[in-house]
Amino acid sequence: MIEWSEQHLMIREALQRFVQEEIVPIHEELEHGDTPPYEVLRKMYSSFGMDEMARTRFEKQIAWEKQGKPPREKKDTADASTRADQTAMSLLPIIELCKYCPGMVTAMGVSVGLTAATIMSKGTIEQKERWGKDVLTFEKIGAWAITEPSSGSDAFGGMKATARREGDEFVLNGSKTFITNGPYADTIVFICKLEEDGVDSRDRRILNFVLDSGMPGLQQGKSLRKMGLHSSPTGELFLTDVRCGMDRLLGGEKALSKGGRSGREGAKDTFNMERAGVTAMALGIVERCLELSVKYANERVQWEKPIGEYQLIQDKLARMEVARMNLQNLVFRTIELAANGRSMNLAEASAMKLYAARAAVEVAMEAVQVYGGNGYMSEYHVEQLARDAKVLQIYAGTDEIQIRAIARELLSR
Amino acid sequence: MKIMVCLKQVPHQDARLDINADGTWIQEDNIKFEINSYDTYALEEALRTKDAGEADVFVVSIGPDRVGQALRTALGMGADRAIHVNDDEANGSDSLGLAKILAAVAKQENPDLIFMGLMSDDDNSAAVAPMLAQLLDIPHTTAAVKVERSNGTVTCDREIEGGAHEVVELTAPCLIAVQTGLNQVRYASLKGIMAAKKKPFDVKSVADLGLSGQVGTGAAKVKIDRIAPPLKGDTAEILSGSTAEVVAGLVSKIKELGLL
Ligand SMILES: Cc1cc2nc3c(=O)[nH]c(=O)nc-3n(C[C@H](O)[C@H](O)[C@H](O)COP(=O)(O)OP(=O)(O)OC[C@H]3O[C@@H](n4cnc5c(N)ncnc54)[C@H](O)[C@@H]3O)c2cc1C
């Protein structure tokens, strides 16, 4: 893939119109107020038929699984160009929304991406029908909770949240933090460790439970104040003796019968998906920063010349363009891989995420610099993008963790 | 029911407009285009008719290759097929020339309803719709702000001076030129855009429509001599101060000039 197709460009234009008509007028409330992003996101889902598409895909998959067939590989379900289009259709909304509200993308991605994907990959057919479908179509808001106050990068190893077996039931305890959509989630995937006598805490089985908002013992904290990403509510979850049956354990009995360190693999698949999403987010942020910077460099006059005529400013613009080209090529590669029914290995996905996050932060900070004092003011928008971009180096695996994954692969060659 | 929608592709509202070398039109290279805003409402009205029952909605546009994108966008929004009159011979047509081309398409297709925009965002002449209706000898209305259909008749509210509405009833086949804002224009769904690739897309020449020599620059009775940006004058007075001061200043100015 060397460029967006005409269809892709049409989708971008339609999305741009949506952003201008539905998001720009409430941008202030989304980014500097307390308006949660869900209503607009749902409107986007219904306006573009994304809910309908998700429903159809869900129904096809369930019908297939009900015949007792093994889950289909993506490459068996469509031809190459359809697969490319499907991937592009999932990335284009990310790119366009990120030009204004990277937070909204986070709220959306965690719900219809992470949470729904976990239910759809680990759940039984009943669990998919009960929770997966509504989260996929955005009828319900999903949250995916692994991080805890004392475990982040080492999420599994340091995890303290527990599930204790009591007869047919499980009793869940623990607290989670930095949970996207936590304050508003209807459906929560809660990741914890099974209490097992005689097994070292690091080696205990990881279990995924699905919780509904309002269950006794589950408390959803209010939104935490943070540096940026204000259009994505982030909060804490507290579980005190939350009782649930086998029906809420993703995978049911089978999840228990797997031995040893099971339950960890699935989370890694979702990390990979997140990393491709982050690259598309970075591209959206960079495209917008570049567009704004070029405009300002042409307009702003100092010493009787537009600042764009000064080489130091030109250097910034040129670097932004290089980043844009690299990111776009990475997005194209993601689409091309999907078309070929292939996916990246962990090290490659990590390298992509590391580059994307750094590029977005560098470009957004330089955009602030091009704007000078105005860049530091909210009105000019680049300061928001700079604050928002920073999160890309932290969530979905910090830069340091990506570096570790890349180095490990290199050193084991 | 068959519905024809006429679309024009116009420079994007954010496009930078520069005048071309001979001063007769804008520089069209490397600028973005979009569907004329009035026409998007016309298309939406046609698609609503289709949603409410059975209808074959086809979109027609005249212009160079780039116009194909506007037509495919309309297909993505839900139109069933497109006709693109793509022929250099049509270049330089005046309103009557364009109306003749659209009339020739309509005569081949025999639509029950024709929806189009009241005018185009670029040259605002508002002439093509009435001319087309005349050439087809069918009833028409302009500036429609509300359209209601019941078997064979169409009742429209049209905007007239002073903000009043005039209610007119038309018998199909008829032509309705719409005002902006009469409906909420849908977004093309992602699936719709992808499916648009496979919808019928006809390209026609002026000769295919039997109009050789009758349209284009040669036949035009109206020619653009020169276009120019408005001259900057020094008669404007900009009021400054707080909102209350500005309003007070404006009111005294209006009184002073005896405008009320
Ligand atoms: C806005 C936002 C939304 C989030 N949403 C979610 C969510 O929905 N669900 C969820 O479960 N989590 C979520 N998180 C949590 C996120 O995944 C973690 O913050 C992230 O994984 C880092 O963990 P930590 O904050 O505990 O940092 P730590 O792991 O404590 O890291 C602190 C520093 O040490 C470095 N470090 C740690 N280990 C190593 C090492 N081995 N070698 C070198 N350096 C190391 C890190 O890179 C970092 O610089 C979110 C976070 C944010 C900011």
Amino acid at A282: A
Q: Is A52 in contact with B194 (Cβ distance < 8 A)?
A: no
Q: Pick the residue from chain A with its C-alpha nearest to B189.
A: A48
Give the position, in ligand 1's atom list, of the atom nearest the Cα of A399: 47
Residue A395 Cα to ligand 1 middle (Å): 6
- For residue A12, what pLDDT is reported? 95
Nearest to B189 among A6, A48, A85 (CB): A48
Give the mean pLDDT of A386-398.
97
Contact call for B193 and A49, based on CB within 8 A = no
Separation between Cα atoms, residue B72 and residue B67, nearest integer Å: 9
pLDDT tens for A249-282 read 999 999 888 766 666 766 556 777 788 899 999 9
User: How far is it between the farthest Cα atoms of chain B?
Assistant: 65
Contact A7 B193 (CB under 8 A): yes
Atom index in ligand 1 nearest the CA of residue A110 equals: 8
Q: Is the pLDDT of residue A369 over 60?
A: yes
Distance in Å, CA A152 to ligand 1 centroid: 4
Q: Rounded to an integer, what distance in angstroms lies between the CA atom of residue B46 and that of residue B144?
A: 13
CB distance B202 to B71 below 8 Å: no
Of A227, A229, A226, A206, the C-alpha closest to A145 is: A206
Please give the number of the atom of ligand 1 that sits closest to the Cα of A191: 11
pLDDT at B73: 95
The whole-angstrom separation of Cα B176 and Cα B174 is 7
CA A127, A131, A137 angle in degrees (round to 5)?
135
- In this prediction, residue A260 carries a pLDDT of 60
pLDDT digits (tens, 9 = 90+) for A168-179: 899 999 999 999
The residue whose two tokens read 């903000």 is B163
The model's pLDDT over B29-83, given as tens digits with 9 standing for 90+, comes to: 889 999 999 999 999 999 999 998 889 999 999 999 999 999 999 999 999 999 9
Distance, in Å, from the CA atom of B141 to the CA atom of B129, rounded to the nearest integer, reads: 9
- Mean pLDDT (whole number) for A17-28: 96
Q: What is the separation of C-alpha A403 from the centre of its chain, rounded to a whole number of angstroms?
A: 20
Residue of A nearest to B190 (CA): A48
The answer, yes or no, to whether residue A74 has pLDDT greater than 80, is no
Task: Check residue A330 and give its pLDDT.
Answer: 97
- Give A-chain residues touching B188 at CB under 8 angstroms: 10-11, 14, 48
Domain range summary for chain B, segments of one domain joined by +: 2-219
CB contact under 8 A, A10 and B186: no
Decide if pLDDT at B90 tops 80.
Answer: yes
Q: At A244, phi and psi to the nearest 5?
A: -150, 155
Cα A57 from Cα A65, distance rounded (Å)? 12
Q: Please report residues of B whose CB lies closer than 8 A to that of A18.
A: 187
Q: Which atom of ligand 1 is nearest to the CA of A153?
A: 29
As to burial, measured by CB atoms within 10 angstroms (0-12 exposed, 13-18 middle, 19+ buried), residue A158 is middle
Chain B residues close to A53, C-beta within 8 Å:
190-191
Per-residue model confidence (pLDDT) at position A135: 98
Residue A125: half-sphere exposure toward Cβ, Cα within 13 Å: 13
Task: Provide the pLDDT for residue A75.
Answer: 57
- HEC profile for chain B? CEEEEECCEEECCCCCCCECCCCCCECCCCCCEEECHHHHHHHHHHHHHHHHCCCEEEEEEECCCCHHHHHHHHHHHCCCEEEEECCHHHCCCCHHHHHHHHHHHHHHHCCCEEEEECCCCCCCCCCHHHHHHHHHCCCEEEEEEEEEEECCEEEEEEECHHHCEEEEEEECCEEEEECCCCCCCCCCCHHHHHHHCCCCEEEECCHHHCCCCCCCHHHCCCCCCCCCCCCCCCCCCCCCCCHHHHHHHHHHHHHHCCCC
Task: Give the model confidence (pLDDT) of B108-147 as tens digits.
Answer: 999 999 999 999 999 899 999 999 999 999 999 999 999 9
In this complex, the residue of B34, B187, B197 whose CB is nearest that of residue A7 is B197
For residue A229, how far is its CA from the centre of ligand 1 (angstroms)?
A: 16
Q: What values do phi and psi take at A338, rounded to 5?
A: -65, -40
Find the mean pLDDT for residues A388-404. Answer: 96
Distance from CA of A55 to the nearest CA of B (A): 13
For ligand 1, atom 29, the nearest C-alpha belongs to: A153
CATH code of A144-259, in short, is: 2.40.110.10
pLDDT of res. A68: 84
**Which residue among B189, B194, B196 places its CB closest to the CB of A85?**
B194
Which among A105, A108, A146, A147 is the best mutation to test ligand 1's pocket, defined by most ligand atoms within 8 Å of the CB?
A147
* Interface predicted TM-score of the whole assembly (ipTM), two decimals: 0.83
- What would be the CATH architecture of the domain defined by B2-219? 3-Layer(aba) Sandwich (3.40)
Scanning every residue of chain B, which has its alpha carbon at the shortest distance from the alpha carbon of A16?
B187
Residues B187, A10: C-beta atoms closer than 8 Å: no
Q: Which of B186, B188, B191 sits opposite A10 (nearest CB)?
A: B188
pTM: predicted TM-score of the whole model, two decimal places: 0.91
A14 interaction partners in chain B (CB closer than 8 Å)? 73, 76, 187-188, 193
Q: Distance from CA of residue B209 to its chain's centroid?
A: 21
Mean pLDDT of chain B: 94
A10 contacts B189? CB cut-off 8 A: no
pLDDT per position as a tens digit, B204-223: 999 999 999 999 999 999 98
Contact between chains at B193 and A47 (C-beta distance less than 8 A): no
With beta carbons under 8 A apart, name residues in chain A contacting B69: 6, 10
CA distance A382 to A372: 11
Fold of A266-411: Butyryl-CoA Dehydrogenase, subunit A; domain 3 (1.20.140)
* Contact with chain A for residue B72, Cβ under 8 A: yes
Query: A237 C-alpha to center of ligand 1: Å?
Result: 17
For domain A6-140, give its CATH number from 1.20.120, 2.60.40, 1.10.3470, 1.10.540. 1.10.540
For residue B185, is pLDDT > 70? Answer: yes
CB B5 within 8 A of CB B74: yes
pLDDT over 90, % of chain B: 82
Domain-wise residue ranges, chain A: 6-140, 144-259, 266-411
Q: Is the pLDDT of residue A90 over 90?
A: yes
Residue ID of nearest Cα to ligand 1 atom 43: A400
In chain A, what residues touch B78 (CB-CB under 8 Å)? none
The mean pLDDT of A379-408, rounded to a whole number, is 96
User: Residue B230 — very low, low, confident or very high, per pLDDT cuts 50/70/90?
Assistant: confident
